[in-house]
């Protein structure tokens, strides 16, 4: 009696075949990979938690938020892309533009006071919000 070749082993194909390790060929992770990987993962988690804390929980921690009443020096409009109205003011020696809707910007005249909430940043100031000081009604038209 002659014995023929064994039929070829059927290969299991699928998109997860390469990621499946056979139980007999799996080895534990070497100790030196644990020494490198765990501190990197801890550092990454600390960076993400710090970013979320500073951005969402305590936004004022990036710099002290201050409020100042300043005089409007002028009005204007940017024509790049869309028309945007702005007021020109000087905050701590830095000329700043306060952008806003036409209705809000149009209610201020040169020489009037604006209450600006800002934060000092390298190279100037970052305006958080601006509004008419309390008790000052918009001029009658």
Q: Is 29 helix (H, G, I), strand (E, B) or coil?
A: coil
Q: What is the DSSP letter of 60?
A: G
Q: Is the pTM of this model over 0.75?
A: no
d(C-alpha 121, C-alpha 99), whole Å: 18
Q: What is the DSSP letter of 63?
A: S
pLDDT at 6: 79
In a domain, 48, yes or no: yes
What domain range is 119 assigned to?
63-131
CATH of the domain at 127: 2.40.50
pLDDT digits (tens, 9 = 90+) for 99-129: 888 888 888 889 999 999 988 887 888 888 8
d(C-alpha 108, C-alpha 130), whole Å: 12
pLDDT digits (tens, 9 = 90+) for 51-103: 888 878 776 666 678 888 999 999 888 776 566 888 999 988 888 888 888 88
In a domain, 54, yes or no: yes
């Amino acid at each position: 009696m002659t014995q023929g070749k064994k039929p070829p082993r059927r290969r299991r194909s699928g998109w997860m075949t390469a990621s499946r390790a056979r139980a007999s060929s799996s080895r534990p992770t070497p100790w030196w990979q644990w020494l490198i990987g765990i501190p990197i993962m801890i550092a990454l988690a600390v960076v993400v938690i710090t970013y979320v804390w500073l951005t969402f929980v305590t936004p004022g921690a990036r710099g002290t938020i201050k409020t100042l009443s300043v005089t409007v020096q002028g009005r204007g409009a940017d024509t790049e892309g869309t028309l945007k109205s702005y007021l020109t003011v000087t905050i701590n020696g830095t000329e700043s533009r306060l952008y806003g809707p036409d209705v809000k910007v149009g209610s201020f005249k040169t020489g009037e006071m604006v209450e600006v909430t800002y934060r000092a940043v390298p190279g100037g100031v970052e305006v958080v919000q601006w509004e008419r000081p309390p008790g000052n009604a918009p001029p009658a038209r």
